[in-house]
Amino acid sequence: MSSNSLHATPGWLALLPAAVLAVLFLVPFGIMVGVSFAHRAPGGFFEPGFDLTSYARVFTPFVGRVIVTSVTLSAAAATICVALAFPFVVFLTQLGRAAQTVILVFLLAVLSLSEVIIGFSISTLLSQTAGIGNLLVWLGVIDAPQAYTPSLFALLVGLCYLGFPYTVLVLYPPVARIDPELPEAARVMGASPVRIFFTVLLPMLRKPLIGALILVFVFTLGAFLLPQVLGRPVHWTLSVHITDQAIFQSNMPFAAAMAVILLLVSLAMIGVTLLLGGRERGAR
């Protein structure tokens, strides 16, 4: 008997993650789809059936604007996080091991903070009474303290704060594995640091960058508390309206229909991102 057959992985092991996926994702998703077609009954209940009323309400200008707002906010937060995290990770990998460990531990500690703590901390930081406005007045930049929340700026700050640690942790392993002789060879050949960054590092890390974009996009798309604490009603995402319909309006079919649309929008954006990444790779 060969050593390969002795160490072969049993095929039934593949059934374990498939079963977990079916239990934790497919079954709840199937229930949600079934509820989205249910008929709303008086008293906040619903009756099983095939009613398209909820989906008819989804495809209205108001819900369309909410979807566009949600996608735009998540895409902006993902782009900002990757744009900030990539040069930060490149700089991080050039530090000593002790400094890298301290910074990574700090980022892991940030991940332990809940969305509630992050939202109210940033709200306090950007408030008029106890925020950075007082620091700007002390420095002489402005004449009187101002409130910077609720606003689109405050919401983007919160979403980026939420997604930045994940972006760094996703990009750190592939950046740390880059052979340091490659940038050095480009430097010897006369390439500037900026050119090395865009012509050597970026092409090598295209897949991790796309993965980080997708991760932060999907993660921030489901943000629920930050849009309410840091943004205005016009900035409320689809997750906020889903919760409002499910809990406060007691309209479970409409909430389920919006949740299905949110999932489909997430999958569509992920597919578009992967398609664009594949086309760029094929063009090169």
pLDDT mean over 84-108: 89
The answer to whether 226 and 118 are in contact (CB under 8 A) is yes
Domains and CATH numbers, the chain: 69-283 (1.10.3720.10)
For residue 208, whether the previous peptide bond is cis, meaning omega lies within 30 degrees of 0, is no
Tracing tokens 């480009």 back to the chain, one arrives at 186
pLDDT at 12 over 80: no
| Confidence at residue 9, expressed as pLDDT on a 0 to 100 scale | 62
Q: Residues 232-267: pLDDT tens digits? A: 888 888 888 888 888 888 888 999 999 998 888 888
pLDDT mean over 130-134: 77
Considering only CA atoms, which of 89, 103, 92 is closest in space to residue 208? Answer: 89
The Cα–Cα gap between 220 and 212 comes to 12
pLDDT band at 277 (very low <50, low <70, confident <90, very high): low
| Confidence at residue 83, expressed as pLDDT on a 0 to 100 scale | 92
Q: Residues 142-176: pLDDT tens digits? A: 777 788 888 899 999 999 999 999 999 999 999 88
| Confidence at residue 282, expressed as pLDDT on a 0 to 100 scale | 54
pLDDT at 1 over 50: no
| Confidence at residue 60, expressed as pLDDT on a 0 to 100 scale | 87
| Confidence at residue 219, expressed as pLDDT on a 0 to 100 scale | 87
| Confidence at residue 114, expressed as pLDDT on a 0 to 100 scale | 83
Q: Write down the pTM of the prediction.
A: 0.80
Q: Residues 49-86: pLDDT tens digits? A: 888 888 888 888 888 898 899 989 999 999 999 999 99
The Cα–Cα gap between 31 and 21 comes to 15
Q: Residues 13-54: pLDDT tens digits? A: 778 877 887 788 888 888 888 888 988 877 667 888 888 888
| Confidence at residue 150, expressed as pLDDT on a 0 to 100 scale | 86
